[in-house]
Each structure stands twice: as structure tokens, then as C-alpha cells.
Chains A and B, each alone.
Chain A
């Protein structure tokens, strides 16, 4: 049973929680995004779905920044020696892209909503103001980045999950179990 902080052998509860919460939110946001853009104008979710999409998107952006900070502060478990160098470099690369794409998706989403100078609401608790304004067709350019990277992120998520399953079922090591908090 791991403690709340990371150790050499395993992830702590906080890192595990952050991983799965961001995973659920990011995947949920992807499908919420696909769903909301096809709602009819008279659907009762026409305004509610984008509201939750924006709020959750901002929240997950903050969570990811916190994760990155925590990753530096808390250190990470040792990489298993039996993992091949090519496995380690691919893993590193995919992890970096997962973080990068997630953050760029959050920022571009924020830019879609604030391109016209209006603030964006965070769960109706407070407003996050616009910082970039007056760039021609910014909402469209940000929208393209947002949509393309969201698709790309889901491909990376699938790769990431397949790699975890490969370690679990084929290599029979504890890579996946470490992230589930089980010995």
C-alpha cells in the first residue's frame, strides 16, 4: 500500500489520483466536445454542455500544471531495469507529448472563448479574463488547433493505454499495477 507521496518503487496516492482524474476528465471532455458541437439549437444542453466543457477544461489545465509541479517536487519511481532503452525513450516521448498536447488543448480552448475579449466562466464561481484580443480570426485558428490536437491526444492516450496493457499482460511487470496503487 503506497503512501501519499511517491517512492522509489511506487507512485504515491496523490500522483495516482491526479493521473486518473486527469485521464477521466480529458477523455470525458473529448466526447463532451464531440457531442456538444452537434446539439440542435433548441436542445436544453446547447448552453449547458459548453459551460461544463469550458469549466472542466480550465480545471484540468490547472490540474496538469499542478501535476507537472508535483512531478518535479516529489520525484518519480525508478524505471524498471528490464525495460528496454527504446521502450524508455518512447515512453518518455509519449509522456511529454501527453502533457504538451493537453496543455495546448486547454490554452487553445481558452482562446476560442476569449478571442473576442470576453471572460470565460469557471463553474460560475468566477471569471477568467481574456488576455489576447483583436487578433484576426483567433477563435478559428485556436479552434483548429483545439480540434486537431484533441484527436491526436486520443491517439496518444490509446497508445499509452496499449503500452500499459503490454507491460501488464505480455511483459508481466508491475508498470500498470504501480499506477493502480496495488502491489
Chain B
């Protein structure tokens, strides 16, 4: 009897743990998520662009954030810098070569929680024919029930990398070697 009781308590704990580590789908349908990039133009200004089509899921447990996982797939042809001729150029083999590499993917490998409550999400970015480890600096924005019976949590994170590290060889000048990628995502709990 005592054993049964202990097992029940243990099972309940286990179940509640599983409920906490919930799976989320990034709300691309309602477009409460975006993937932007910024790069210096000549060293004189910031140019922003974004990817209009992507999808992803993550799991998140408020009590054990270091167990979180995320994976995001980006449709590279959806690159949009609000300038058709430039977008055409970005999709060409000078940059993203979207015909050959229609998808880019980020898959997390581990999460480190920093003392200030932020997180460092390590993962592999596959872009063109290169897969390389990057670290996303992530901040939680908010979490709670939404007005329509669902439950949501949102994050913003960013990472930087050298274009040439991912075989983007077009020379844009000495101050435009690095691009910053910014992910703003809201997940809906499944």
C-alpha cells in the first residue's frame, strides 16, 4: 500500500513534469513570428531584410529551461528586403542560391541559462551546403494564456555569423562581412 502510494505520487510528479515541458508550434499562421536579418551597408547604415516563410516547433519548460529544444526551417526563396531587384540578386548564386538550397534550418543542440535569466541556445545552422554551430542569445518576452483559450510563450533571439562561413562569397565590403539574424517567435502550446 505504501509502495503504491509512493508510486502514485512519483507518477503524478512525472506526469506534471511532462505537462510542463510542453511542445509549442511557432505561430507563423497568425504571423506572430518573424525572422529578420541586418547587415551594414558600406559601414554607413543598417540594412534590414526578412524571410517571409518559415516554420518551426520548440519545447519549453519554465522550470527547466535548459531542457528546451527548438528547430526552425526557413524557405530561403522568401527572402524580402523590400527591393525586387535586390531580392532577385539575394536569391541568385551570388548569395543564397535558393534553387540549389531551398531550405535553411536551425536545430538546437543544448541550452544554457545565464545568471541574468537569458539563455544561450546552441545549435546547428544549415545554410547552403554548410552546417555550423551558432549560439542564439535568447530572451523570453512573455508567457501566459491567450484570450482564445490557448497558451502562448514568446522569445526573441539573435546571432551573428560571417557570410563567407556559409559560402556566401559575394564581396560587399570590409564592414559588411557579418550578418545578424534576429528571431522573434511566439509559440502556441499544443
The docked-state distance in angstroms from the alpha carbon of A124 to that of B12 is: 74
Q: B165 to chain A: which residues have CB within 8 Å? A: none
Which of B83, B91, B170 is the one whose CB lies under 8 Å from A140? B91
- With A41-B171, A41-B172, A42-B173 as contacts: A137 and B77 at CB distance below 8 Å: yes
Tell me if A44 counts as interface (CB < 8 A to partner B). Answer: no
- With A137-B77, A140-B91 as contacts: A118 and B84 at CB distance below 8 Å: yes
Tell me if A74 counts as interface (CB < 8 A to partner B). Answer: no
B88 touches A112 (CB 8 A): yes
Q: B85 to chain A: which residues have CB within 8 Å? A: 50, 112-113, 116, 139
Tell me if A115 counts as interface (CB < 8 A to partner B). Answer: yes
The docked-state distance in angstroms from the alpha carbon of A116 to that of B49 is: 14
B82 touches A116 (CB 8 A): yes
The docked-state distance in angstroms from the alpha carbon of A22 to that of B157 is: 54
A139 touches B172 (CB 8 A): no
Give how many A residues have a beta carbon under 8 Å from the other chain's beta carbons: 15
The docked-state distance in angstroms from the alpha carbon of A139 to that of B88 is: 6
Closest residue to A142 on the B side, CB-wise? B88
Tell me if B137 counts as interface (CB < 8 A to partner A). Answer: no
Tell me if B103 counts as interface (CB < 8 A to partner A). Answer: no
Q: B88 to chain A: which residues have CB within 8 Å? A: 112, 139-140, 143
Which of B82, B87, B171, B173 is the one whose CB lies under 8 Å from A139? B87
Which of A40, A50, A115, A138 is the one whose CB lies under 8 Å from B171? A40
Which of A40, A42, A50, A113 is the one whose CB lies under 8 Å from B84? A113
Q: How far is the CB of B89 from chain A (nearest CB, A)?
A: 8
The docked-state distance in angstroms from the alpha carbon of A148 to that of B116 is: 56
Closest residue to A130 on the B side, CB-wise? B84
21 contacts between A and B (CB under 8 A): A41-B171, A41-B172, A41-B173, A42-B171, A50-B85, A112-B84, A112-B85, A112-B88, A113-B84, A113-B85, A116-B83, A116-B85, A116-B87, A118-B84, A137-B77, A137-B91, A138-B84, A139-B87, A139-B88, A140-B91, A143-B88
**B interface residues with partner A (beta carbon < 8 Å):** 77, 82-85, 87-88, 91, 170-173
Known interface pairs A41-B170, A41-B172; 12 further A-B residue pairs with C-beta atoms within 8 A, sorted by A's residue number: A40-B171, A112-B84, A112-B85, A116-B82, A116-B84, A116-B87, A118-B83, A118-B84, A137-B91, A138-B84, A140-B88, A140-B91
